[in-house]
Structure 1
Amino acid sequence: MCIFSSVMRQPDKKFWGVVQSALPVPALLSSRAATAPDHEALIVAGAGGLTLREWDERSSAAAHGLLARGVRRGDRVALVFGGADWLDYAVHWMAVLKAGAVAVPLSDRLAAPELGRLVEHCGATTIIRRDDAPGPTPSVAAPVPVPVDIDPLDLAQILYTSGTTGQPKGVAASHANLASPPVHPRRRPFAHSRHLVHAFPIGTNAGQVMLLHALTAAPAVVTLPLFTPARFAALIESYAAGTVFVVPAMAIELLGARVQDRHDLSSVLLLGSAAAALPPAVAARLSEAFPNATVANYYTSTEAAPAQTIMIYDPDRPGALGHATGDLRIAGADGTPAGLGETGEVWLRTPAHSRSYYGEQRSDTFRDGWVRMGDLGYLDEEGYLYLVDRESDVIKSGAFKVSTLQVEAALHEHPAVSEASVFGVPHPVMGMAVAAAVVAGEPVTLAGLRAFLSERLAQHELPTRLLCVDALPRNAAGKVIKRDLRGLAEE
């Protein structure tokens, strides 16, 4: 049984218009496969591709197999696949939905105890791994219909959050949520591209968004089993990709490797960054490395999707995160709206059916269709969103509150610093002090960094402790795990 944590907000024309127009996800595939059967939806470097017809036929055959195994409507099915398995994963993810069951994407890199904990948490009755998945089925004249009626409000997917500040939570999404916003066949996203390239892992929100793009967007979605700057840049060049998506960590690696010196990246017209805030200095360098690309920063969360803000990088507004595609508000802790320029909690709302935490009856994250982002921010007079920091990351040092995002942005301006993460550590007098971990191309010292930053930051924002590391600890979604850095600093 699915327990939704949020109270359904009062029906309004905008909301019900989206829900009533939404189709179950399998219907999106069958309808598009009927009109463009040979469109290559998904390509994995070195492993081949999958047309819409093949996706529809293979997933229907696999869905019949699941029904024969006893999988029933509403059952949770864990899908444990790795980066080289995107094709088989896409088939079985769709098969689970066609069978009326709930897909639970999980990375094959999870340690056995963690995998077991998540499987137990969602109550999965079936686990499908790469070795369990059958190979391609022979082509048939038409896929055999799967005899399961699916309501758009049926639960379709449980996706576990990255867990950078605690235990991962299962975020439940309905078919209406995944299929939103509706896509007009003549106005498919990214129509300027024949190919869209990404390297997001299975089991992440960004990876699932790319899978849905393979279903609904104009270009073929191309990925590779394992990201390296050289392989990724070569993939962009070989497919003359018009659209590319990265997370900031990937962008920093691409720039550090100077892939633009060895690969033709001129085909890229849109370079999107997701999953974390893109430091302004990194955005500026991306604009130089991809000379024809518009650099866009996408801000959302696993809980809030498909609501998001989109910001085209603007040197005059380097820290802005743009306007929302749905509803956006800044509010105080008691829910009172904040005024322009006033810092408060960031909330997003989508006209689609909202998500929820699976297995939790109450949560402060969801409220009447709104999603609390866990970030502090403000709006300027033109409605642009600016983040101050993660609410949990703000460093309260003495009488001051320090934004780690602001300090990180300044650190990225240092010519020797390729990556930076800022966090708080205990201090006997101030309560908390500012610490920084950096990946640097040449030796740096705390005194040298403080001198550099003193022209950009206030005295109370300067780091008092410095960790020089070979790499920042990151989760599968590319987000820095700051609790690991705190542990290193305390040691």
Structure 2
Amino acid sequence: MTTTTTGRGAPPPRTVPELLDWRTALHPDRVAVEVHGVARLTFAEWSAGAGAVAAALRHRGLRHGDRVGLVFGAHDWTRFAVAYCGVLRAGGVAVPLSDRLAAGQLGYALTHCAATAVVHGDDTPTPPVPPGLPVWTCGDLLADPGTNPDQADTDPKLSAARPGDLAQILYTSGTTGRPKGVAASHANLTAGAPSHPRRLALAHSERFLHAFAIGTNAGQTMLLNALTAKAGALTLPRFTPLRFARLVEAAGTGTVFVVPSIAVELLDSGALRGRDTSGVQLIGSTAAPLAPAIAARLAAAFPQATIVNYYTSTEAAPAQTTMIYDPTRRDAVGRPVGGQLMVADAHGNPLPAGTTGDVWLCAPYPRAYYRDEAANRATFRDGWVRMGDVGRVDADGYLYLTDRHQDVIKTGAFKVSTLEVEAALHEHPLVAEAAVVGVPHPVLGSAVAAAVVPRPPTGPDGLSLPALRGFLADRLADYQLPARLLLLDRLPRNEGGKVLKRQLTGLFDN
């Protein structure tokens, strides 16, 4: 079953620098990106800085299509924005990477994409890059005395970017194996971007608040939002629930974006207690499934806000489904926006409503894995992206996820959805976070195991396996009940907030 939501008469594709030029002409003095207490960047400053970086990179030998690693941290979002658009303005390909990556992870990404240079933040140590790779700070490029910022746009030899050109490579989280580089064109990144000033997104907000990491798909979405939204982007040099809550309450914060782990930390910390959250009109959650119990808590904490869950992936963006929190459809993840949705059989044939199968999304100007044709054949097909999830679409077009393909637990004659068990666990008042995995069992093949971050108390009156199974008995079938329980201080997560379930499985063996 497919549901088409792409509109007709869409404007022709643009490049990211063209989008920046458009916003600069409209709102040169408006703040586009702000790191609270650290730096602000207006559109005029963003455009001028990107031009200077582009000219400096071309002066230093950057050729059209060359890949440039951008290694930045949360305190340097403004310089990252300048460097990112500078690389693209010069015709290069940006490879955003978090400064929190281990040396091996960083080296793998830079080697895999054959990066020709690395740019990093001004106030951070030189990142550990492969030998011989040029490394510059953004400040080095902005201060390059031998360049003219206007040259990057006027010199025909600089081969300006075109909408179909490769613009960025994002390395996936690697939760199931070696990270893959997901390549996106300019047309992909600007698809759906407004072309009229009255159609800017998030018009109800003066700014939108987030705490997403550079190098993640969610982080890149926030950067593109800064170009396409009426509201400016606001983030923190370092996330803490108290700092985040203060900005939630600040005048002008009309939109807040979170991942479920941030939502849980914010709600459990008490930082919102006594604060006026009435100015927030939209709470958006992405990157991981939002358990219904967490969505309900967000709705209570932000009574004036619409709670929206976004379902997509690094490979499928900008195609996504969106779900406005609806207690009558607690488990739905929404209907498609900006593309098409399909549930198909193992051969890619569409299935009728209500039938469980593989989830696929489709959007114009699709992405692809960089230098990995085998993976492309398994994941991409005629513009469609196999999401790696199992689910169904109901008669009204709402998608319901069963689980990730690799996470479904086969125990005896039954298949168990870890998402369903996790949603039930989140309803327990002493469960702060939960993740469910399958562990080896000598008879059943696999058994259901739950890793839980408990809320106090954790002593005799706290969580135990018998007590937890008793709580879940009215919510789950007997074969879905956890046979193993592991209490942790925190769940292992990647930069994007996703739980590293492969690491969890190993913890049950200890």
TM bracket (short chain) = over 0.9
2:387 match: secondary structure: strand
CA distance in 2, matches of 1:143, 1:117: 35
CA distance in 2, matches of 1:15, 1:174: 20
Question: Aligned residue for 1:7?
Answer: none
How much does 1:490 deviate? Answer: 1.1
Structure 1 counterpart of 2:114, one-letter code: G
Structure 2 segments unaligned to the other structure (5+ residues): 1-5, 123-136
Q: Is the 8 A contact 1:56 1:143 kept in 2?
A: no
Structure 2 counterpart of 1:460, one-letter code: Y
**Stretch moving more, 359-368 or 173-182:** 359-368
Q: Verify: 1:86 aligned to 2:77, yes or no.
A: yes
How much does 1:239 deviate? Answer: 3.9
CA RMSD of aligned residues (A): 1.7
Deviations 1:50-73 (A, max 9, x none): 000000001101110000110110
- Which residue among 212, 229, 250 is the counterpart of 1:200? 212
Q: Verify: 1:336 aligned to 2:349, yes or no.
A: yes
How much does 1:238 deviate? Answer: 2.3
- Which residue among 40, 43, 60 is the counterpart of 1:69? 60
Question: Aligned residue for 1:274?
Answer: 286
Q: Is the 8 A contact 2:55 2:150 kept in 1?
A: no
- Which residue among 131, 135, 138 is the counterpart of 1:133? 138
Question: Aligned residue for 1:419?
Answer: 433
CA distance in 2, matches of 1:66, 1:267: 43
CA 1:143/1:149 → structure 2, altered by over 3 Å: closer, same or farther? closer
Q: Is the 8 A contact 1:22 1:182 kept in 2?
A: no
Question: Aligned residue for 1:430?
Answer: 444
How much does 1:145 deviate? Answer: 4.8
Structure 1 segments unaligned to the other structure (5+ residues): 1-13
Q: Quick one: percent identity of the two aligned structures?
A: 57
Question: Aligned residue for 1:375?
Answer: 389
Q: Verify: 1:240 aligned to 2:286, yes or no.
A: no
Alignment of 1:316-335 (within 5 A): 316-325=328-337, 326-335=339-348
CA distance in 2, matches of 1:280, 1:161: 26
Question: Aligned residue for 2:173?
Answer: 162
How much does 1:28 deviate? Answer: 0.8
**Stretch moving more, 83-92 or 333-342:** 333-342
CA distance in 1, matches of 2:7, 2:285: 28
1:156 match: secondary structure: strand
- Which residue among 47, 56, 79 is the counterpart of 2:47? 56
How much does 1:230 deviate? Answer: 0.8
TM-score by length of 2: 0.91
CA distance in 1, matches of 2:400, 2:356: 9
How much does 1:194 deviate? Answer: 0.6
1:70 match: secondary structure: coil
Structure 1 counterpart of 2:477, one-letter code: A
Q: Verify: 1:345 aligned to 2:350, yes or no.
A: no
Question: Aligned residue for 1:5?
Answer: none
2:29 match: secondary structure: coil
Instruction: Give the total of aligned pairs.
Output: 474
How much does 1:137 deviate? Answer: 6.7
Structure 1's consecutive aligned runs of 4 or more residues displaced over 4 angstroms after TM superposition are 14-18, 135-138, 141-145
Q: Is the 8 A contact 1:76 1:123 kept in 2?
A: yes
How much does 1:162 deviate? Answer: 0.7
How much does 1:143 deviate? Answer: 5.2
Q: Is the 8 A contact 2:432 2:454 kept in 1?
A: yes
2:176 match: secondary structure: coil
2:327 match: secondary structure: coil
How much does 1:435 deviate? Answer: 0.0
Q: Is the 8 A contact 1:356 1:366 kept in 2?
A: yes
TM-score by length of 1: 0.94
Q: Is the 8 A contact 1:433 1:464 kept in 2?
A: yes
How much does 1:342 deviate? Answer: 1.0
